[in-house]
A = this chain, B = another copy of it.
Amino acid sequence: MLEKTTKINMLYDFYHELLTNKQKEYMELYYREDYSLGEISNLRDVSRQAVYDNIKRTEQLLHSYEEKLHLYEKFMKRNQLLTTLQQLIINGSDTTEIVKVMDKLQKID
């Protein structure tokens, strides 16, 4: 079955602008509005299987965008470094220590 995971929601946040309106509609009904496949099928008067296939294909598309652009991966790395940086600043750490983390941040485009 489809998994309503946070990962897919994150990928959707990053890449939904690259999807068609129909792909976005099904994804939002299923993942954001928590409609079931059956409910979407009734709502749009298409088979449950068609809804399932569409969502499954869109998920694969989102994963393929991530393999190419790595926006989710970079976002996670960046957030981790920002948290580290915040800790270092709050603890009044050495400037050289802080600059090291900032260099790493700058290297993530």
Interface string of A81-100 (1 = CB under 8 A from B): 01001100110000100110
Q: Which of A23-31, A38-46, A51-59, A101-109 contacts B (4 or more CB under 8 A)?
A: A101-109
Q: How large is the interface on A (under 10, 10 to 19, 20 to 34, 35 or more residues)?
A: 20 to 34
**Taking A17-B68, A18-B68, A68-B18 as contacts, is the C-beta distance between A105 and B89 under 8 angstroms?**
no
Chain B residues near A18 (CB, 8 Å)? 65, 68-69
From B13, B71, B86, B99, contact of A86 by CB (8 A): B99
Over the window 6-49 of chain A, the binary record of Cβ atoms lying under 8 Å from chain B Cβ atoms (1 yes, 0 no) is 00000001110110000000000000000000000000000000
* With A82-B105, A105-B82, A106-B82 as contacts: A17 and B99 at CB distance below 8 Å: no
